[in-house]
Structure 1
């Protein structure tokens, strides 16, 4: 029997998530306030007896010139993806969103498909015959993920290509790097660092690098480092008000939802990073650093402090977020993959994002629009 999907209050949304081990920060009500160009709505999945069985944050973005919307549930919805009757969960969601004027729905099931241990990733990088991580045999494979993708295809969902989170081309990384913390002592986690990481953490400590917690007033300092990082790494930075809005929205929802860390050395801030917390899942969100004094290793020291704090919180995972799946030495992102895996992180592939065209003509028009931008 299908569940009923209807809008719920912010309080209902938060109360449901509070009873779970974790949920993506992108599925919290506060994330809608971070994205003012999208209209946000909290949805609830109700059983016949009125019990709330799932929630989701949907972001609605209007198609230029029309009152029709792209509906997006980043890393959601928060439902039981392993339960039978998946169709009974998704069909009423599609019906509700269609009634809201959605012409296309995009979602990102938070379901892991494959994992590669740090050693497996290291071996893949060293193998001249390996070009993409997805072509390398995984350390573990989730059969349930294959079943899920088959069911989605049978329902008419289409796996979407990765895109940039800009305008309509909203997208989250399919490949991430995660350090498992559950059931491990801090000594176990430290032993998971590779030799270079351990050496750099000690070097930073010996050099006098101090990691401190910052607040809203420190965001301009973070932003100065962030714009320098953007220029160095050739990406377009978000504006400062984005981070100020993010801090206000997330910390209003929960005082410890978002943290800011700053790496100090001889009166100068050399690196900074934001950390997000929902239940037992902790994410490294945005990082920034200067090119000066890199020899004192502020980034290693800062990340290690963040991992230690995540462990102290009782988190089950420290999530470095997105990584490249390319293993080509010519790709400038390979160094970032080495850095994250060196911290003991395993490469994790999710089932990716999926699209459902409610209006095929408008959905096709969106594809054409995005191609020509």
Structure 2
């Protein structure tokens, strides 16, 4: 990863709450200080928007941007990690803000910060931009979805437990400004890079006893079984990543998916995130009889925790090592003060006959919610020429 240094664009100031709002490149230290501030914590940055994520992604340049009354002095109201992929044979870039920017999407005038952001990226040579707004769109409670599992049925067939008015409003605002949701027939895009449907367990205001009672009977039985069988859950280190990766390859083969990531990728991720903040990424191991049977990773930023990747062996599954791991990770996230435990992506199928439904069923047992995010949105910049470049870039990615 290389940082792309671009001077601040000479855009005219925008107004927010009566004060001039500027945008400029900022240092990683200034960026992290904002995330750790009260305002930054309330905005709830995803780990994909931490400065360290730029060091994880190879083949991309990066920008760290901040906007506010005086961004160079650290007076910020929002920040963004921008990943830039160069279109071969040109000096143009595709700009990607994974699960970002970190901004107040409820602000009455999103143009006050979105406008300067687009102007700056245009000046940096971007021909198109993709963003991942943070507001949720719809939520389904676990208990509701269990009762609606049926052959051929999907999430969209079930009336949501809750529709988030902010998410709906942000979607309307983006469409009115020429943004298109990735994967929509009219977008010309290739779908979301990050999962649109995720599973989240709310932790705020709940005790450990509440979390335990929130598990379904099968989960409680499996956690008890793991204890009875002597499954030991420990936090590993970088030295345990090769064993994690070995189990991940077994899991991919068993469950019929391929993440396409190397051991080096996970080693780089572990080093980068923990260099930024010790303990930001942890590797949990479940041991039984001296053997590691399962290994899961957890990432924590502010008051949010994510279960990112899980792996397990094919044998001795009856001792339930993965249930033991997840229960300990839930407890640890809760004890660290996390408001939510995000188990990341789930499929949209409610068909028990589909292989993918097994993952959803497993996560439903924790008693959380399926959350449909707003997904990712994109738009070319500056007319026909950049639209042509964007189509060429999509074709290039598809060939890769």
Name the SS for the 2:33 alignment partner: helix
- Once the two structures are TM-superposed, the CA of residue 144 in structure 1 deviates from its matched residue by 1.6
Q: How has the CA–CA distance of structure 1 residues 158 and 95 changed in structure 2, closer, same or farther, with 3 Å as cutoff? A: same
Q: In 2 relative to 1, CA 354–278 (structure 1 residues): closer, same or farther, beyond 3 Å?
A: same
Residue pair 2:180, 2:377 contacting (<8 A) in 1 also: yes
Cα drift, residue 367 of structure 1: 3.2
Report the alpha carbon displacement of residue 350 of structure 1 after superposing the two structures with TM.
Answer: 0.7
Does the aligned pair in 1 maintain the 2:182–2:191 contact within 8 Å?
no
After TM superposition, which residue ranges in structure 1, 4 or more long, deviate above 3 angstroms? 367-373
Q: Which residue is equivalent to 2:351? A: 328
Q: Which residue does the alignment assign to 1:110?
A: 134
Partner in structure 2 of residue 41 of structure 1: 63
Deviations, residues 172-226 of structure 1 (Å, cap 9, x unaligned): 1111000100000000010000010000000010000000010111111111111
Summarize deviations over 1:278-309 as a string: whole Å, max 9, x none: 01100001110001100000000010010011
Deviation, 1:331, is 2.5
Quote the residue 1:9 is aligned against. 27
Aligned to 1:56: 80
Q: 150-159 or 42-51, which moves further after superposition?
A: 42-51
For 2:341 and 2:366, the matched residues in 1 are separated by 10
- Deviation at 1:145? 1.3
Label 1:265 to 1:68 Cα distance change in 2 as closer, same or farther (>3 A): same
Superposition TM-score, scaled by structure 2 size:
0.88
Alignment correspondent of 2:6: none
Does residue 155 of the first structure (1) align with residue 177 of the second (2)? Answer: yes
Q: Distance in 1 between matches of 2:96 and 2:145?
A: 32
Q: Give the aligned partner of residue 220 of structure 1.
A: 242
Q: In the aligned structure 1, how far is the partner of 2:134 from the partner of 2:100?
A: 6
**What is the CA-CA distance between 1:138 and the residue it aligns to?**
0.7
Aligned to 2:197: 175
After TM superposition, the score normalised by the length of structure 1 is 0.94
Task: Report the equivalent of 1:76.
Answer: 100
Moved more, 253-262 or 360-369: 360-369
1:112 to partner: Cα distance:
0.6
Counterpart of 1:30 in structure 2 is 52
> Does the C-alpha gap of structure 1 residues 371 and 256 become closer, same or farther in structure 2, counting only changes over 3 Å?
closer
| Residue correspondences, number | 366
Unaligned runs of 5+ in 1: 163-167
Which whole-Å CA distance do the structure 2 matches of 1:273 and 1:117 have between them? Answer: 24
Q: Answer yes or no: is the 8 Å Cα contact 1:106–1:355 preserved in 2.
A: yes
Q: Is 1:290 matched up with 2:290?
A: no
CA distance in 2, matches of 1:367, 1:171: 13
Q: Distance in 1 between matches of 2:70 and 2:64?
A: 19
Contact kept? 2:183, 2:192, Cα under 8 Å? no
Q: Are positions 1:245 and 2:268 aligned together?
A: yes
Deviation at 1:123, TM superposition (A): 1.6
1:235-270 CA-to-partner distances (Å, cap 9, x unmatched) read 234110101100110000000110010000001100
Q: Secondary structure at the match of 2:246?
A: helix
Preserved CA contact (<8 Å) 2:80 2:100: yes
Match of 1:98 in 2: 122
1:297-312 to 2 correspondences below 5 Å: 297-312=320-335
Cα offset, 1:368, TM superposition:
3.5
C-alpha distance in 2 between matches for 1:345 and 1:63: 41
**2: distance between equivalents of 1:370 and 1:256?**
34
Alignment equivalent of 1:344, drawn from 328, 348, 367: 367
Q: Which runs of 5+ in 2 are unaligned?
A: 1-13, 16-20, 185-189
Aligned-pair CA distance for 1:330? 3.5
**Equivalent pair of 2:183/2:191 in contact (CA under 8 Å):** no
- Determine the C-alpha separation between the residues in 1 that align with 2:191 and 2:61: 16
> For residue 165 of structure 1, what is the aligned residue in structure 2?
none
Cα deviation digits, residues 70-107 of structure 1 (max 9, x gap): 10000110010001111221111111111111111000
After superposition, the Cα gap between the structure-2 partners of 1:325 and 1:169, relative to the gap in structure 1 and judged at 3 Å, is closer
8 Å contact from structure 2 (residues 139, 161) kept in 1: yes
What's 2:5 paired with? none
Residues 87 and 155 of structure 1 are in contact (CA less than 8 Å); yes or no, is this contact kept in structure 2? no
Whether the aligned pair in 1 keeps the contact of 2:182 and 2:192 (CA below 8 Å) is no
CA distance in 1 between partners of 2:50 and 2:270 (Å): 14
